[in-house]
Amino acid sequence: MIRSNTVFVQLFRYGLVGVTVLIADFLAFTAMLAVSSPGKYLIANGCGKLTGALLGFVLHRKFTFSWSQRDRASRQFSAYVVLFAANLAASTGLLWLLVDLGRANPFIAKLAVDAVVIGSAFVVSRIWVYRAA
């Protein structure tokens, strides 16, 4: 029997939730760019990240890290907000570097940046946000 708190099970679940969150984030990003000027990609990134974060908190708490958790939802949400702020700062900074300085396509740059940010977020989520009891 495979336990739900193993790293491999959580990585698999994190991937499933991550794809869902990434799609929600990317759709919000695309919608914002469609209704605004192309130069507003950083604002669109913020809207996408916020959309994904709200969905991600609930799905990660209930599905990815569905073990007996040490902390209440309010403490986890506070930790998740800190993680979200760090992810938003990192993704915005990297996106700016790639698009403004590197002249990359905003859509491709966003996918590349999200791959880096999502990987580090798994580690922080497992160790700090959704700590096991």
User: What is the tens place of the pLDDT at every residue in 69-82?
Assistant: 778 889 999 999 99
Name the pTM for this structure.
Answer: 0.78
Q: Please give the pLDDT value at position 69.
A: 75
Q: Is the pLDDT of residue 57 over 70?
A: yes
Give the residue from 56, 51, 17 showing the smallest Cα distance to 32: 51
Q: Where are the alpha helices (DSSP H) in 6-132?
A: 7-35, 41-59, 73-96, 106-124
Tens digits of residue pLDDT in 101-119? 999 999 899 999 988 898 8
